[in-house]
Amino acid sequence: MAPSPPFIAVPTMNQTLLPALLVSMACILSACSEAEDPEPPVPPTEELAYYYCSDRTGNFEIFLRTGDVDEQLTDDPLVDSWWPRASPDGSTVLFYRSDVADRPAVGGANNNYDFASLWMLDVATGVLTERIPLDANGWTTQGVADWSPDGTQIVMAAQSTPDGGRWHLFITDALGANPTRISTRTSLYLDPSWSPDGTKIVCVAHPVGVTGASLNDLEVFTMDVDGTNELRLTNDSFRDHDPYYSPDGNEIAFETDIDPTFFGVGRWGLRAVSTDGATLRTIIEDMQINTLPQYSFDGTVIYFQRFVFGGPGGFRLAQINVDGTGLEFITEGGAYDDTDFAHTNLMTLRTGGTLSQRDWFEFEFPEHVKPRNIDQAPGYYTQLPLSGR
C-alpha cells in the first residue's frame, strides 16, 4: 500500500497499512534539524500530464496537472479524495474517498483505508459514481486499486471478514463488481499492480511460514493473475511496498524502509529488482522519504513522492532517472502535501497518440487477446474494427 498510499509503522491489522500514511507526519517531520542534503531544483516545466492528490485546499482533492496548469477535479471539503488511477483509455479515473471526520489520530488522511470507498470519475462529464461502498463485500478495509492493461479488470487489496480478517488480493470487473480473491496463502498481501501484458500481478506479501501481522516482514512477490505460481523476488530484512513494473516488463521498482526506527516513520529508498529476482539495485537511498515509484512510458524516468526531513513543507512529487541520476521536483511544494502520482492515459501516451487502446494492446500482446462482446461502459471498450492495421 504505497506510501501512495502511505505507510503506518503500526503492525496491527485493523490500522492503515501503507507507508504513505507518513503524510500526516509532515508538519512534525519538517521541523527536524537533520536536513542532510540540499533539495533538488524544480525543473523547467514541460507538457507532462498527470493526476495527483493534494491537501492544498485544506482536505485532499484530486488534481490534473498539464504542464504547469492545475485543474481541480473533485471538490468536497467534507471528504478526502485520494489515490487517483486513470483507466488505460483515459476515460475514467478511479479513486478512494473517506470522510474528513473519520481521519485517524495517527496516519495519513489520504490513505484512510479503514473508512475508504472506491469511486469513479467520468473524465468527459465529470460525473462521480461510488463503485465499492464502505464495508461492501464483507471488507472492513480496502485500497490500492489498479487497472489491468486492457481496462477490463481492477486488482485491489482488502481486509476481508470472510477470509479471517486478513488482507488479500481481489480482482473485479471494470466497474468494481464481482470480486474474486486471487491470493491463496494464509498471509498478508498488499500493494498489487499488473505486468504490462496483463498476465502477472506484483505485490508485497509475507513469505511462506510468516503468519503474524508485522509489516516489517513484507517482501516483493509476483504471481499469475489467478494467484498461482508465486515467485518471491526479495529476501532481506527490509520492509518493502508499492512494486510497479517497468514498461518492458523486465524490472520492478518499489520502496524500502531502510531505517525503520527514525522518528517512528523511517527513511525510505527506492530499489528495483529484475523479474526473476536475480538482480537487485538501488535507485535512490538518501536518508529521506522516497515512495510510490511509477515508471515513465519510455522506462527512462521514475516519478515518485518525496519528503525531505528539515525541508520546507510536506511531500512533493519528484522524478529521477532510472539509474539514480537527475533528481528533480515536479511540484513546487508548500505547507501541504502533493502525493499519489498517476499517469493520465497509458495507451495514448505510450504510442504517441497514434493508436487506440485496443490497437495498442493487440499489437503489443496478441497472444493475450481474447474475443470480447461487452457493452460500453467506463473503463470498457467495445469490439470495434481495428484502425490503421
Tell me if 269 sits within 8 A of 283, measured CB to CB: yes
Give the up-direction half-sphere exposure of residue 102: CA atoms within 13 A in the CB hemisphere: 17
Measured at the CA of 260, the angle between CA 258 and CA 262, to 5 degrees, comes to: 105
Grid coordinates given for 35: 536536513
Domain membership of residue 376 (yes or no) is no
Write out residues in the chain with pLDDT < 70, as ranges.
1-46, 345-389
Cβ distance 43 to 67 under 8 Å? no
The Cα 188–Cα 123 span in angstroms is 34
Sequence-distant (6+) residues with CB within 8 A of 39 are 308, 311, 312, 329
Kindly list the distances between the CA atom of residue 138 and the CA atoms of 117, 227, 331, in Å, as whole numbers in the listed order.
13, 20, 38
Asked whether residue 6 is assigned to any structural domain, the reply reads no
The verdict on residue 383 lying in a domain is no
Q: Is residue 8 part of a domain?
A: no
pLDDT on residue 28: 41
| pLDDT confidence of residue 204 | 98
CB-CB contact of 19 with 255 (8 Å): yes
Summarised one tens digit per residue, pLDDT across range 12-36 is: 333 333 344 444 444 444 444 344 4
Looking at the structure of the chain, the number of domains it has is 1
Tell me, what amino acid is at 292? L
Residue with cell 497499512: 17
Q: Is residue 2 part of a domain?
A: no
User: In a 3-state reduction of DSSP, which class is residue 170?
Assistant: strand
> How many helices (H) and strands (E) are present in the chain, helices listed first?
3, 24
The CATH number of residue 176's host domain is 2.120.10.30
Range of the domain at 72: 19-368
Question: Is the residue at 211 inside a domain?
Answer: yes
Fill in the amino acid letter for 108: G
pLDDT score recorded for residue 369:
58
Taking the C-alpha atoms of residue 348 and residue 354, their distance in angstroms, rounded to an integer, is 7
Could you tell me which residues come within 8 angstroms of residue 64 by beta carbon, excluding any fewer than 6 positions away? 49, 50, 51, 70, 71, 73, 344
Q: What is the pLDDT of residue 69?
A: 93
Q: Domain for residue 161, yes or no?
A: yes
Note the pLDDT tens digit of each residue in 304-343: 999 999 988 899 999 999 999 999 999 998 999 999 999 9
Alpha-carbon gap, residue 6 to 311, rounded angstroms: 19
Q: What is the pLDDT of residue 278?
A: 97
277 in a structural domain: yes
Measured in degrees and rounded to the nearest 5, phi and psi for residue 101 equal -65, -20
